[in-house]
Structure formats: structure tokens, C-alpha cells
């Protein structure tokens, strides 16, 4: 089947909205207004009649468009053009032009934009390792450095060893099995909890069913 390809440059007139289809795939829609201008006989330029297009994007393009585009920004969109008719809420027959876009980007004739490369999995939210904190930790490990300081408590060194002078907070004592202490009771020290590696203990046979 023959398809009509179209390239439109114009302004985004509605904020992109990302949705999830019945199959679980995501898509993003927004409207674009295109106003051509022509040079008149007097040498001056005049605006022509504005045309509106509904743009729909899918998959990674949809995820990136939802994040990168905003209402009022100039863009260029390329894709397949379809003209459809529908009955409006007022009962009148209306016509709409839709672009199933393959490519969307900012129109740099009107401003500047920055580019951030992301994988398709990251754009769709399928890449758990794309988290910036995870990436920073992985880079630190690859360079032979310790992970960022905030990833471990201050009393634990880079090798995971707890300092000898560390005394746990009351809540940590409770987590280790100690009885909850009231305000007027003395908080138990770590040494009073015993050492499971050196203390004697008795092996209790399992209870019969």
C-alpha cells in the first residue's frame, strides 16, 4: 500500500502525553501547528493559513518525546500522513490529519538544544542499571576507587569492616534481639550482646513435627 510521507516544521501546541496501549507498549501524542509564510509582490513576507497535525510516536521515540518536548517549542516531525474523518461531540463531521512519526527533533533554526544519548531499554524504563547512582558506583569500581561515601555508613570502611569503637544505636540493638530499653534504663553496650563467633553455645535439636 502506498503511503504519503510528510515532513512538518512547526510549534508544539499541546504538551506531549504518554500513554500505555492494551498490549503494554507506550505511545505519546501531541499537536503541532504549521504556519507557512510567503513573500508578496511588495517583497514582504506574510503568514499563510495555519495547519494543525496530530502527531503520534511509539516505543523509544515516544518515551524520549514525552521527556524532551514541551508546548511552544519548534520541532521537525517526519512520518506517514493519514487524513481521517470522525464525528465530533457536536455531531458534525470533522477531518483530522495525523502523522505517525518516525523522527522528531527540535528545529535548531529557532534556538539551541542539548542531546543526551540513552539506550532503548533505558528510554522504556527496562534498564535497571540506568539509574545515575548505580552508574556512578559502577564507574568508581571500574576505576579502582571506593564507591561514593554516601553508599556506606561512616563507621564502615571501604572493605566493609566495622570499626572497633562503634557502639550501635538503641534501635540497632533491638534489631539484634536485645530487649527494648525505656528512657530510665541503661542502654546495653555491644559487648554485652556477646560474640556469636567465639562464645560457647548449645546446639538444640529441631522440634519434631
Q: Which domain holds residue 36?
A: 4-111
Q: Is residue 195 part of a domain?
A: no
Q: Do 16 and 87 reside in the same domain of the chain?
A: yes
Q: Do 147 and 100 reside in the same domain of the chain?
A: no
Q: Is residue 31 part of a domain?
A: yes
Q: Is residue 48 part of a domain?
A: yes
Q: Do 77 and 22 reside in the same domain of the chain?
A: yes
Q: Is residue 200 part of a domain?
A: no
Q: Do 95 and 169 reside in the same domain of the chain?
A: no
Please list the pLDDT of the chain residue by residue as tens digits (209 residues).
Answer: 578 999 999 999 999 999 988 888 889 999 999 998 888 888 888 888 999 999 999 989 999 999 999 999 999 999 999 998 888 888 888 888 999 999 999 999 999 988 888 777 767 766 666 667 767 776 776 777 655 555 556 666 666 666 666 665 544 444 444 444 444 544 555 445 555 555 565 655 666 55
Q: Is residue 119 part of a domain?
A: no
Continuous segment of H or E residues that includes residue 45 = strand 45-47
CATH code, 88: 2.40.50.140
Q: How many domains does the chain have?
A: 2
Q: For residues 138 and 160, what is the distance between their CA atoms, to the nearest angstrom?
A: 17
Q: Is residue 122 part of a domain?
A: no
pLDDT the model gives residue 78: 97
> Shortest CA distance to 56 belongs to which of 34, 87, 25, 93?
25
Q: Do 99 and 9 reside in the same domain of the chain?
A: yes
Continuous segment of H or E residues that includes residue 171 = helix 170-175
pLDDT the model gives residue 120: 74
Q: Is residue 10 part of a domain?
A: yes
Q: Is residue 163 part of a domain?
A: yes
Has this prediction a pTM greater than 0.85?
A: no
Q: Do 53 and 88 reside in the same domain of the chain?
A: yes
Amino acid at each position: 500500500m502506498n503511503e504519503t510521507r510528510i515532513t512538518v516544521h512547526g510549534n508544539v501546541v499541546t504538551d506531549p502525553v504518554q500513554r500505555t496501549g492494551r498490549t503494554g507498549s507506550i505511545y505519546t501524542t501531541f499537536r503541532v501547528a504549521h504556519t507557512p509564510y510567503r513573500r508578496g509582490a511588495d517583497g514582504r513576507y506574510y503568514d499563510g493559513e495555519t495547519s494543525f497535525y496530530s502527531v503520534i510516536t511509539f516505543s523509544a521515540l515516544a518515551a524520549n518525546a514525552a521527556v524532551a518536548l514541551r508546548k511552544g517549542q519548534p520541532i521537525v516531525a517526519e512520518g506517514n500522513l493519514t487524513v481521517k474523518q470522525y464525528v465530533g461531540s457536536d455531531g458534525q463531521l470533522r477531518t483530522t490529519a495525523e502523522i505517525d512519526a518516525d523522527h522528531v527533533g527540535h528545529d535548531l533554526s529557532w534556538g539551541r538544544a542539548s542531546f543526551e544519548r540513552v539506550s532503548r531499554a533505558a528510554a522504556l524504563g527496562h534498564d535497571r542499571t540506568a539509574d545515575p547512582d548505580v552508574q556512578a558506583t559502577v564507574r568508581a569500581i571500574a576505576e579502582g576507587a571506593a564507591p561514593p561515601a554516601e553508599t556506606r555508613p561512616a563507621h564502615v570502611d571501604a572493605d566493609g569492616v566495622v570499626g572497633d569503637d562503634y557502639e550501635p544505636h538503641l534501635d540497632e540493638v533491638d534489631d539484634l534481639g536485645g530487649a527494648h530499653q525505656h528512657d530510665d534504663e541503661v542502654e546495653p553496650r555491644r559487648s554485652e550482646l556477646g560474640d556469636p563467633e567465639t562464645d560457647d553455645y548449645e546446639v538444640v535439636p529441631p522440634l519434631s513435627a
